[in-house]
Amino acid sequence: MGGGILITKAVAVVLVLVAVLGGSVQSVESAIGVNWGTISNHRLAPSTVVDLLRDNKIQKVKLFDADPDCLRALMGSGIEVMVGVSNDLLATLSSSSAAADLWVSQNVSRYMVRGGANIKYIAVGNEPFLTSYGGQFQSYVMPSITNLQQSLTKANLANNVKLVVPCNADAYESSLPSQGAFRPELTQIMTDLVTFLNSNGSPFIVNIYPFLSLYSNSDFPQDYAFFEGTTHSVTDGPNVYYNAFDGNYDTLVSALNKLGFGQIPIVIGEVGWPTDGAITANVNAARVFNQGLINHVLSNKGTPLRPGQGPTDVYLFGLFDEEAKSVLPGGFERHWGIFSFDGQAKYALNLGLGNGLLRNAKDVHYLPFRWCVVDPLKDLSGVSDHFKLACTVADCTNLNYGGSCNGIGERGNISYAFNSYYQVQKQNSRSCEFDGLGMVTFLNPSMGECKFLVGVAEEVVTEHVSVGLQLYRGSVIVWLLIFWGFGVFMI
């Protein structure tokens, strides 16, 4: 209850600020953007990535943090950027206006100079209301928004940079779209949040994943997850739903309607389909889903509850595979990219941006074309520990059931694991030893759809410690000079 009172007061403060600034809803041109995730052992240089975005006419990009290397590369590009505050920082930002000032100064203001980065949104947390979090971030969201809004105002950026909160679709629930409602425990905070968003001219951001519905429910009709027509349509009064995306979207619209904000703009923060790591994750399914989604959204047909009015923007998830991500949700979690780690398009896809099919990254510098495989003459009785080591450090999710490398046999599996480890180690000669079981070859061991990678040489090495990381790591924050307005010291 105390958290609820704090949240309500936080909203009141923010709304006063918005009223003073004269915030209003701004109309923007709908477009397809991308999520640029960086949890990878094989990262292209940010400048190469920005060139890739430009070559594909992608004008909107969403980051999950405020990575300085990415933001520096985006400066002068004109590409619209959403930066992110991680959930782990919310507690600090919610309790300290000085910490919020510092975060805005170091992660927004410094890049928004003449010829700088075009930062339009700050995502306050990432799916902070997710059921699996058990409410641990819930009470921090609105106080963080209050402090960040005040910081933007001080920096004269409040009219240009909008605060948003990407929500998972599990924030609302219903058996039919027309009955959609936010989870009961979220009703008050969602009312506060949407009131702020509406007054500040910010959209409601939601992540929708039909793939996860199919993956987690064996009874979910597969054709309903796509846009190609279905024999499992859902009838809801006078409305008929032919795909899961529209049904999910209109469930949110109904939930917003119940709060009195049925017309607030909606942005899809994440949506996509993985290409590997699970039986329903493959290149063809990803191509069919993403192309169907793009065609559907850009047709401006809208949905039954919002006819002729689709999402304001849609950010595909994601730009690249991220082979260092956690596989707790499933092996597919590392394979959402429309491009592979080296910027090569995985399949033919037209983003609807007037550029035709995806164009590959240029001037990618690879490591030497050599691979580590198991020595065919060696006995494999002692290979188990080496295999586990390799797959702990590197990505072996392609070997999962349903994965692209699942059927290459025992020695093929071991070679794949050895090579993945070898490439992560930048082809260090000792990383292919495995007690004499490994050997380096110059013959590409790829088999059919199973591709043995060669790493990229353009490794990003960041020596700085970001402000976000400083705030998170700072175990003790000394406030001695706050009362004098001098700021915060970190120990």
Catalytic residue annotation: 127, 270
φ, ψ of residue 423 to 5 degrees: the values are -75, -40
10 Å Cβ neighbour count for 166? 25
Helix-then-strand count for the chain, H and E: 13, 19
Which residue, chain included where needed, has tokens 């090579």?
A: 419
Distance CA 412, CA 348 (A): 28
The two beta strands, 60-63 and 80-85, are: parallel
Please, are residues 107 and 468 in contact by the beta-carbon 8 Å criterion? yes
Distance CA 178, CA 173 (A): 11
Which residues touch 381 (CB under 8 Å, ≥6 apart)?
none
Nearest to 337 by CA among 313, 362, 361: 361
Nearest to 148 by CA among 308, 10, 355: 10
Which residue, chain included where needed, has tokens 């990803």?
A: 286
Nearest to 419 by CA among 447, 448, 395: 395
Q: Which residues of 85-122 are buried (b: 16+ CB within 10 A; e: fewer)?
A: bbbebbbbbbebbbbbbbbbebbbbbbbeeebbbbbbb
The sign of the torsion formed by the CA atoms of 25, 26, 28, 33 equals negative
Which class for 231: exposed (0-12), middle (13-18), buried (19 or more C-beta within 10 A)? Answer: exposed
Which residues touch 367 (CB under 8 Å, ≥6 apart)?
423, 426, 427, 454, 455, 456, 457
Distance CA 216, CA 131 (A): 15
